[in-house]
Amino acid sequence: MKTALLTHADCLGHVTPDGHPERVARLEHILHALEPLDLDRKTAPLAADDDLRRIHPDSYIEDIRRSVPVEGFRQIDGDTFMSPGSVSAGYRAAGAAVRAVDLVLGGEAPNAFCAVRPPGHHAETDTAMGFCLFGNAALAAKHALDHHGLSRVAVVDFDVHHGNGTQDLLWDEKRALVITSQQMPLWPGSGRPDETGAYDTVLNIPLAPGTGGAEMRAAYERLAFPRLRAFEPELIIISAGFDAHQDDPLAELNWSTGDFAWLTSELCQIAAEVCEGRIVSTLEGGYDLKALAEATRAHVEELMKAAQ
Ligand SMILES: [Zn+2]
């Protein structure tokens, strides 16, 4: 079986103002880079409101729907904008996560990557922020737990920014282990080691500006991997942000494309040990177009190797 790739043209219809880093070209470059790969290509469905209600209250979902402008842009947070296509894009990004979980847990794909935008890991229970509308990775976790009846899932977030939204949405979910590494200090400012969740199921790994691949690997081997193995998740969800890349303009970590490949390979190895290789990965950040496309391709190629 092949690695599944979930995406939808609607994710290109979420337009941001000129100069905004989270732009349409990001996904265009990724899709171009993935074009030659032998993937099981799937259309991302729209999420159902019942899916979104697993993580967001009705009032928030309605707010997002009502905030969509008829034309131009509407700013809903310091750096989060909506265009006429944003609601559809948000529903596709969330729907991709749900469908990817269904495919992997249903045995139709060994693992899956969701090439979607807007990203999701900054969206809190009732707050859109950081380019994010809906908490895609947390939704994947809740769907796996509540719809599929899993007992334990893990989310690993290697985006350079703290996954504050995923942490908020899964803070009191004892069935979900959340591991997130981030540059600190850096926006949004949260993600200290003493933020451990209501049931000690949140592991924050702050990394100093300038942290390179060797130090990143050591931190994951010392802190993240033992925790992940001990938790024995039945599914691993990856919040795959590529803005820790050395070429990224929004942060100061120094990971190479090979470091993203290494980290993905290690997560695939752990998944093979504890959950028959089941991984659902969803795109978060990454703002240097060339580095983003390269690192995403390297990430997906490791998923493909593990799928064979
Ligand atoms: Zn980021």
What digits encode the pLDDT tens for the residues 32-43? 999 999 999 999
pLDDT at position 48: 98
pLDDT at position 228: 98
Average pLDDT over residues 165-172: 98
122 labelled catalytic: yes
Q: Cα(245) to centroid of ligand 1, in Å? A: 11
- Tell me, letter by letter, the H, E, C secondary structure of the chain: CCCEEEECHHHHCCCCCCCCCCCHHHHHHHHHHHCCCCCEEEECCCCCHHHHCCCCCHHHHHHHHHHCCCCCCEEEECCEEECCCHHHHHHHHHHHHHHHHHHHHCCCCCEEEECCCCCCCCCECCECECCECCCHHHHHHHHHHHHCCCCCEEEEECCCCCCHHHHHHCCCCCCEEEEEEEECCCCCCCCCCCCCCCCCCEEEEEECCCCEHHHHHHHHHHHHHHHHHHHCCCCEEEEECCCCECCCCCCCCEECHHHHHHHHHHHHHHHHHHCCCCEEEEECCCCCHHHHHHHHHHHHHHHHHHHC
pLDDT at position 268: 98
pLDDT at position 304: 98
> pLDDT category, 53, cuts 50, 70, 90?
very high
Could you say which DSSP state residue 220 is in?
I
> pLDDT category, 45, cuts 50, 70, 90?
very high
pLDDT at position 109: 98
pLDDT at position 131: 98
pLDDT at position 176: 99
What pTM was estimated for this model as a whole?
0.99
Mean of the per-residue pLDDT values of the chain: 98
Q: Cα(241) to centroid of ligand 1, in Å? A: 6
How far, in Å, CA of 179 to CA of 212, rounded? 19
Q: Cα(3) to centroid of ligand 1, in Å? A: 24
User: Percent of the chain, pLDDT > 90?
Assistant: 100
Q: Cα(20) to centroid of ligand 1, in Å? A: 13
pLDDT at position 204: 99
Q: Cα(147) to centroid of ligand 1, in Å? A: 29
Per annotation, catalytic residue among 14, 29, 122, 143: 122
Average pLDDT over residues 144-149: 98
SS3 129: strand
pLDDT at position 282: 99
Q: Cα(161) to centroid of ligand 1, in Å? A: 4
Average pLDDT over residues 93-107: 98
Question: Pick from 68, 70, 95: which is nearest to 8 by CA?
Answer: 95
